[in-house]
Structure formats: C-alpha cells, structure tokens
A and B are shown apart, each in its own frame.
Chain A
C-alpha cells in the first residue's frame, strides 16, 4: 500500500497545478533541507493523525502544511497557502500512485514569524479521507 504521505506529496507537486507552478518539487516532509533559505516558495508538510478506520475501508488523515513564500513578505506565503487551499479544498484527488479520496481544508491561518528564522509562514490543515488497500 502506498503511504498517505507519499500520496499527499504527489498531490502537492502534481504537474500543471497552481501549487506546482509556485513550488516546483519543493514539498518537504517534516523539515526543510539545511540549504533551504526561503528564497524560493516551498511547503513543509507532515501527517498529524490517522485516527479513524472504518473497517479498513477508509482512514481520515490530517495533514499540516506550512507554506513559505520565498521571501519575508507575508503576502507571498499567503499566495502559496491559497494555492494549496484551492488544490485540496472540497476535492477528490487521484494521482499516479492512487487516490487521496476526498479532502477538505479545515484550517487556514497566518502564523507569527517563525522563531528560529523569522520567516513569514501560513498554515493550511487538510483533512483527507484516504481509501484503504
């Protein structure tokens, strides 16, 4: 079975989407590479919970996506976050490796500047109904 993280990552950087146009392949899991200095847009995501198993048929997963705009401007981070919102809110997404099922954005929030870096960041929380194997 393809991991939910892999499906989500594929959905983030799938070709011909507004997200992909902005971030290219810069969708990092958990943390950014050390070389990343927020001079280009990127997102960092992780799977927060995978709590519900409806008899093995479906799981719900909450993905947290932190969006960076490639600059110190909050508006640039917001642009990336809006693209992520449009990509996932009330959508049914299928990628090459499988289906992410139905997804909804449950949180869209501007955060204070990140403590270590001072970078502007937006948070988008996506709930997905992932089909089991």
Chain B
C-alpha cells in the first residue's frame, strides 16, 4: 500500500526464520533418531545360527530364545537425551552428544555396566568392538 506523500511502498517483512529453524531442528532430530535406530538394530541383532555365544549355540528356531550370553546386547538402547552427561568405559557410554547450542542430542547406551569394556577390551579380555562398526554401518545406510 503506498504511503501517503512519500512515493515509497510499504514493505512488510515477516520473519519466518524461527519457523524454518524449527523445521530444520525437527528434520535433524528425525535423522538422528533413524540413525540411532539403525545402530541399535545392528548392535542388538542376534548372532548367526551356529555362532558360539558363551560356549553354547543359539537356536533361532526356538521362540523367545534369547540364548545364553547376550546380556549386554539386550541392554543396548537409545533415548533422546540432554547434553552434558558422558561416562567412561565401565558404565553406560554415551556418544553423539551435541556440542551445545540447543541442538538435538541422542544417547546410545548399555545398562550392564561393562558394555564399554566389551567394546574396547581390557588387558585380560580381547575387545569385541560393536559400537564403531555399527556406527560406520549406520552412517553408510543413512547416506
């Protein structure tokens, strides 16, 4: 609408940056959620038939058979988290925490208390890495 006497048109700018920010945040969150789902699915996948788990073979044909061992595997999960928490190898381990700034944060964790040690090994127990390989696999799938 022309302003009286000035010859200039009035331009109204609607700041929609917040709307776009919220959309981008939502999409990021969904991508991260999907990433965590892929990782957790990879880490909790039962071993192939015939694999020796704690010295006993798992038979997937038997319903509800979780098999011996696999306690750590069954305790792996993820949740949308809050920034700040970070623990060492002996307890729950959390990776992928955001660097602050209010971005989405997800936590992938085990609840056994020794999940981190299984991943990196100790001086007496060889490592059985499951975090990094599944991280790489999820990254490949999400790309």
| A66-B120 in contact (CB<8A) | yes
Q: List B residues at the A interface (Cβ < 8 Å).
A: 88-91, 114, 117, 120-127, 129, 132-133, 136, 140
Provide a sorted-by-A list of 16 A–B residue pairs whose CB atoms are within 8 angstroms. A30-B121, A31-B123, A31-B125, A36-B123, A38-B123, A44-B121, A46-B129, A49-B132, A49-B136, A68-B123, A112-B88, A112-B89, A112-B91, A114-B117, A114-B123, A116-B123
Q: What does the 1/0 interface line of A44-79 toward B look like (CB < 8 Å)?
A: 101011010000000000101010100000000000
- Determine how close the nearest CB of chain B comes to the CB of A123; give it in whole angstroms: 6
- Determine how close the nearest CB of chain A comes to the CB of B137; give it in whole angstroms: 8
| B121-A31 in contact (CB<8A) | yes
Interface size of A in residues (CB-CB distance below 8 Å): 26
B125 — nearest CB in chain A belongs to which residue?
A: A31
| B125-A64 in contact (CB<8A) | no
A116 — nearest CB in chain B belongs to which residue?
A: B124
Check if A40 is an interface residue, CB within 8 A of chain B.
Answer: no
In Å, the complex CA distance between A30 and B128 comes to 10
| A48-B122 in contact (CB<8A) | no
8 pairs of A and B residues whose beta carbons are closest in the complex? A112-B90, A32-B123, A30-B126, A51-B136, A112-B88, A111-B89, A48-B129, A116-B124
Most buried by A among B88, B124, B129, B140: B124
Seed contacts A31-B123, A64-B129; 16 additional CB < 8 Å A-B pairs: A46-B121, A46-B126, A48-B127, A48-B133, A49-B129, A49-B136, A64-B127, A66-B123, A110-B88, A112-B91, A114-B122, A115-B90, A116-B122, A116-B124, A123-B89, A123-B120
B86 — nearest CB in chain A belongs to which residue?
A: A109
Most buried by A among B88, B120, B125, B140: B120
